[in-house]
């Protein structure tokens, strides 16, 4: 099975997490943390900064690696490095997604997460509870 390496940016501001709804492709309408594929010669941290700029017209600062998710979809294996990010500048303009929400630890379960992203939700709730 082919492995696809991607990154996700978990943008946190004022105790809320930014989630986006896919507007295209096989997983259209599913909710996820924004990000995408790592390009050749790029570090995962560079990839998440580039992807957030491309998808949301926003510059982020990578704070730390939160988790690496390994998930088997029917057609490929996903390896996703998930980074906690902070907005440096920009207004989170949706260029590829159809919707977005700021979620609190209480509302994290109110969207239909994609399977690979869903595994992060409980861990995020715990982290937000400690802040």
User: Binding site for Mg(2+): what residues are annotated?
Assistant: 35, 55
The angle subtended at Cα 54 by Cα 93 and Cα 5, nearest 5°, is 125
Going by the annotation, the residues of the binding site for 8-oxo-dGTP are: 22, 32-35
Going by the annotation, the residues of the binding site are: 22, 32-35, 55
85's CB contacts (< 8 A; 6+ apart) are: 9, 10, 11, 12, 48, 52, 60, 61, 62, 63
Please return the burial class of 20, using the count of CB atoms within 10 Å of its CB with bins 0-12, 13-18 and 19+: buried
């Amino acid at each position: 099975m082919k492995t696809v390496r991607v990154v996700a940016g978990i943008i946190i501001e004022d105790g809320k997490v930014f989630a986006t709804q896919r507007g295209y492709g096989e997983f259209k309408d599913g909710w996820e943390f924004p990000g995408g594929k790592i390009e050749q010669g790029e570090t995962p941290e560079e990839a998440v900064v580039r992807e957030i700029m491309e998808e949301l017209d926003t510059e982020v600062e990578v704070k730390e690696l939160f988790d690496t998710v390994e998930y088997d979809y029917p057609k490929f294996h996903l390896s996703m490095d998930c980074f906690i990010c902070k907005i440096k500048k920009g207004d989170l303009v949706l260029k590829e997604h159809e919707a977005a929400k700021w979620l609190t630890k209480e509302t994290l379960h109110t969207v239909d997460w994609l399977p690979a992203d869903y595994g992060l939700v409980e861990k995020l709730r715990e982290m937000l509870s400690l802040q």
